[in-house]
Amino acid sequence: MLTVNRNDKQPIWQQLLDQMIHNITTGKWPPGELLLPSRELAQLVGVSRSTIQIVYEELFSRGYTVTSRRSGTRVSNWAHVPHSPEEASPQEPTTPEIPKINIDVSHLYNWIRGKKDQKVEIDFSPHEPYLDDQFQKKWRQSFLQASSVTDLDNWAYGDTYGLVSLREQIRRYLSLERGIHVDLDQILLTSGAQHTLDLIAQGLLQEGDTVSIEDPGFPVSWLTMNYRHMDVVPVPVDTYGLQVDRVDPQSKLVFVTPGHQCAVGVIMSEPRRQQLLHMAAQHSFWIVEDDYDSEFRYRGDPLPTLFNQQPQNTLYMMSFSKLVAPGIRISAIVGPKEAIRQLSQIHELTYRQLPIMEQLTLAHFIEHGHFMRHMRRVRNVYRRRHEALTKAIIATDLDKRFQLSGVETGLHMLLEAEASFDEEMVTNQALEKGIRIYPLSTYCLESNRKGWVLGFAKVNEVAIEEGIDRLAEMLT
């Protein structure tokens, strides 16, 4: 019997619907059961006929009933009735084994955070930039201003290439600061270096293609290419950068960080640059130039880009992860129009577009001068911290026991040990003393080089000196 509780906050029709669904799903009303006509049931329950009609319409729309003029409303054959208790219990679909992915993700996690994700007093992280209250204040202002924009078209499906106003600001910045002069349709906005490399693998390469990667180098570059089933060939790095004569001539792509080598920190020499550009033209392969932090240079201006010298073969990657903050997840790929158009098609199919608020906020942040003021401020901070780290290493004689490199540009430098050195033991001992240092081995694909990549962007001068003193004391 159906009942109505008029003190219940739930509407009467909802109460009746819930009871009827319960009767059907528990088998009390089996398939084919004829329901009372709406007028008769309304009188029996003591509600209006329109209420019963609403309930019957809802039952029909959800598939619990079928109706016809001749046979009235009947319970539909709506569900399979299980024949055994085992069959009645739903089973979760089997999750496939993906050991390779698990290993790669673990490597990426260890590279970014270290094997032991514990709190430490001093963290020489090479992965994160300096942020302060001033940045947060200006970013909040830009966010609020961007939020007040009344152009509702911004909230529709946008341009796959990215927000036009943001690309205009990026184009202007690249022209003024990096000497890169391009059209808007040569710029595609992406969600970080990983996303960019994945688009390149899908849009400009085919499975099985040979790609040459710096070793040591950017782990994301070979992990992404491996995931897309490319034939990854590691290329050694020395004091002058990528050893171009070791690049596989069958390569369809060469990934390089010439302005500040991702792991070792060296600058690619001009002869090597010319050698690579000549080889790319001769063998017709892509150069992917990751210019992630070369704006921060401590001896003169940033060096010219490979893109400037050979734009037809080069894809230029820039990211706001080091320039502003990793959390905003905005970067850009710059290249020939046809290549960027191809990448935009893959982007439209797999990702569609970046979130609009981050794009609007960053566009406002750049347009109103906050970005350049932020860059000037952090450059001064980095210069002081770079000097503090260099002095501390020299003062403790660590530079006599280990080879120091990468001291001209960027947000990290390398303290390299002999290949036989127990890198892991020292890394763990440093953790016990409250210091996190980042082993070079996590940047290596096949190389057996050892040492520690020391970032200074997030460590103040006092902490730098204290951390290096503790490290030196441990190593004596």
For the segment 385-391, the average pLDDT, to the nearest whole number, is 95
Identical fold for domains 12-81 and 152-365, yes or no, is no
CATH no. for 12-81:
1.10.10.10
For the segment 175-194, the average pLDDT, to the nearest whole number, is 94
Whether residue 64 contacts residue 18, with contact meaning beta carbons closer than 8 Å, is answered with no
Domain ranges within the chain, ordered by starting residue: 12-81, 113-130+373-475, 152-365
Whether residue 326 contacts residue 128, with contact meaning beta carbons closer than 8 Å, is answered with yes
CATH architecture of 113-130+373-475: Alpha-Beta Complex (3.90)
208: alpha, beta or left? (left if phi > 0; alpha if psi -120 to 50): left
* The pLDDT of residue 150 is above 80: no
Say which range, 69-78, 240-249, 368-377, 438-447, has the weakest mean pLDDT.
69-78
Q: How many CA atoms lie within 13 A of 353 on its CB side?
A: 16
The pTM assigned to this predicted structure is 0.85
CATH 3.40.190.10 fits 152-365, yes or no: no
Whether residue 440 contacts residue 453, with contact meaning beta carbons closer than 8 Å, is answered with yes
| pLDDT tier at 467, thresholds 50, 70, 90 | very high
How much is the pLDDT for 82?
Answer: 55
**Looking at per-residue confidence, does 415 or 80 come out higher?**
415
Q: For residue range 283-321, what is the model confidence (pLDDT) as tens digits?
A: 999 999 999 888 888 877 778 899 999 999 999 999 999
For the segment 176-187, the average pLDDT, to the nearest whole number, is 94
For the segment 153-167, the average pLDDT, to the nearest whole number, is 87
How much is the pLDDT for 205?
Answer: 96
| pLDDT tier at 472, thresholds 50, 70, 90 | very high
Written as six digits, the tokens of 331 are: 């970067």
φ and ψ of 150, to 5 deg: -95, 5
Q: For residue range 83-139, what is the model confidence (pLDDT) as tens digits?
A: 555 555 667 788 887 878 888 888 888 888 776 667 889 999 999 999 999 999 999
